[in-house]
């Protein structure tokens, strides 16, 4: 009989042989920045998550800066929306101003600009529309403009989440033409059309005004297609590729980790966060243990970068572990 229990007999022994260890640097914290002043608004479906106006952002930025996590993924919540999403690529838009503020005060933080039109369009779709059709190729130059303006403002990386075909190539070309040859692109490569995004849409005010996103985001019945999406983003020049959401898609994540030698990110999305928080607030689960288990599973499946609303809590818990 082989005795597996030999290496399980003490916590020191278990720590010595464990295969997967989380570190604060594994995490990216998503941040919602809202136009206006003196605003710190809680997001009802995401307890512990707030929308900040630029003047109040430092409260959370200082925590992020001290936490050891790698950086932030920024989403703008503009006052003005229109069919073309013009605030997304306004040099003085909410996201561009937020980036300038952050990079000036926290130069070491990795600032990633989410590139998509849905927070900025009056119809709430990720691309421009004609009637009820989402127009792929007409959207690409607008995404490229958003990328260039956010990088000009100081973003260290851009992350297109729109799921238009050819988005990464269009953005790469525009960045290169503007001299930003060293700015990496993180593709939201295998982004599934998911009911897990609904709390985010409350937070960002980005729910589609008609229809759904199924004509551009992926069908969750398809795993292999996720690998083709990732391969395609790599061929377009993506530096980092992503699977999103996380927990219901660990099979895709694992297959991607086995197949591609590119840094792989996973997005532990708003609905996944909301479910854990709801159960924890009811006292039905141990939040710290559940979050540790979930995030470890994402890393074990092959994620190098974990984008999560739990980032600050998890970084704090890891510190307490080390110091005990
Ligand atoms: C915007 C975007 C979404 C998310 C990230 N970028 C929402 C969507 O596609 O509707 C979801 C993030 C989350 O649920 O936490 N394109
Ligand atoms: Zn979008």
Decide if 51 is inside a domain: yes
Instruction: Please name the residues in contact with 221: beta carbons below 8 A apart, sequence gap of 6 or more.
Output: none
118 found inside a domain: yes
Q: Which atom of ligand 1 is nearest to the CA of 268?
A: 15
How do residues 151-208 score in pLDDT, each as one tens digit? 999 999 999 999 999 999 999 999 999 999 999 999 999 999 999 999 999 999 999 9
Assigned token pair, 214: 């199924």
Write down the mean pLDDT value for the chain: 97
Q: Does any domain span residue 294?
A: no
In a domain, 323, yes or no: no
Q: pLDDT class for 62, splitting at 50, 70, 90?
A: very high
- Answer yes or no: are the C-beta atoms of 74 and 112 closer than 8 Å: yes
Nearest ligand, CA 30: 1
260 forms bridges with which residues in the sheet? none
In a domain, 279, yes or no: no
pLDDT of residue 322: 79
8 Å CB contact between 56 and 38: yes
Q: Which domain holds residue 17?
A: 4-240
CATH of the domain at 49: 3.20.20.70
Let me know if 191 is a catalytic residue: yes
Position 21 pLDDT exceeds 70: yes
148-187 in b/e form (b: 16+ CB < 10 A) is bbbbebbbbbbbbbbbbbebbbbbbebbeeeebeebbbbb
- Is 310 a domain residue? no
Given 81, 145, 244, 277, which residue is catalytic?
Answer: 244
Reply yes or no on whether the pLDDT at 324 is more than 80.
Answer: no
pLDDT tens-digit map of 255-307? 999 999 999 999 999 999 999 999 999 999 999 999 999 999 999 999 999 99
Task: Kindly state whether residue 298 falls inside one of the protein's structural domains.
Answer: no
Specify the residue for token string 């005990």: 324
Give the burial class of 44: count Cβ atoms within 10 A of its Cβ; 0-12 exposed, 13-18 middle, 19 or more buried.
exposed
Q: Are the beta carbons of 213 and 126 closer than 8 angstroms?
A: yes
Q: Are 76 and 120 in contact (CB under 8 A)?
A: yes
Cα-based distances in Å from 197 to 73, 83, 184, 251, 271:
16, 22, 25, 19, 6
Pocket test for ligand 1, best of 118, 191, 308 (most atoms within 8 A of CB): 118
Contact criterion met (CB below 8 Å) for 225 and 249:
no
Distance in Å, CA 261 to ligand 1 centroid: 25
In a domain, 287, yes or no: no
User: How many folded domains does the chain comprise?
Assistant: 1
Q: Which of the 8 DSSP states describes residue 122? A: T
Contact of 34 with 50, CB cutoff 8 Å:
no
In the reported structure, the alpha carbon of residue 284 is separated from the centroid of ligand 2 by a whole-number distance in angstroms of 33
């Amino acid at each position: 009989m082989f005795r597996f229990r030999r290496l399980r007999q003490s916590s020191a022994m278990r720590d010595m042989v464990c295969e997967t260890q989380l570190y604060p640097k594994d995490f990216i914290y998503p941040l919602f920045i809202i136009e206006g002043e003196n605003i710190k608004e809680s997001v009802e479906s995401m307890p512990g998550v707030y929308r900040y106006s630029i003047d109040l952002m430092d409260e959370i930025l200082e925590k992020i800066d001290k936490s050891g996590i790698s950086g932030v993924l920024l989403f703008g919540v503009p006052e003005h929306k229109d069919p073309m999403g013009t605030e997304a690529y306004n040099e003085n838009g909410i996201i561009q101003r937020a980036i300038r503020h952050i990079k000036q005060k926290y130069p070491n933080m990795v600032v990633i600009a989410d590139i998509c039109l849905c927070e900025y369009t009056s119809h709430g779709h990720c691309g421009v529309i004609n009637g009820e059709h989402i127009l792929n190729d007409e959207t690409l130059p607008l995404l490229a403009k958003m990328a260039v303006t956010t990088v000009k403002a100081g973003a260290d990386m851009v992350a297109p989440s729109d799921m238009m075909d050819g988005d990464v190539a269009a953005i790469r070309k525009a960045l290169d033409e503007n001299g930003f040859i060293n700015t990496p692109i993180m593709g939201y490569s295998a982004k599934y059309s998911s009911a897990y995004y609904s709390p985010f849409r409350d937070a960002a005010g980005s729910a589609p005004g008609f229809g759904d996103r199924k004509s551009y985001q992926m069908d969750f019945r398809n795993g292999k297609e996720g690998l083709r999406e990732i391969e395609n983003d790599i061929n377009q020049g993506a530096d980092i590729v992503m699977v999103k959401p996380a927990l219901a898609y660990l099979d895709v994540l694992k297959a991607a980790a086995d197949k591609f030698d590119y840094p792989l990110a996973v997005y532990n999305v708003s609905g996944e966060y909301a479910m854990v928080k709801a159960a924890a607030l009811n006292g039905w689960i141990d939040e710290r243990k559940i979050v540790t288990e979930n995030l470890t599973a994402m890393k074990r499946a092959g994620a190098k970068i974990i984008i999560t609303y739990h980032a600050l809590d998890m970084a704090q818990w890891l510190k307490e572990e080390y110091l005990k």
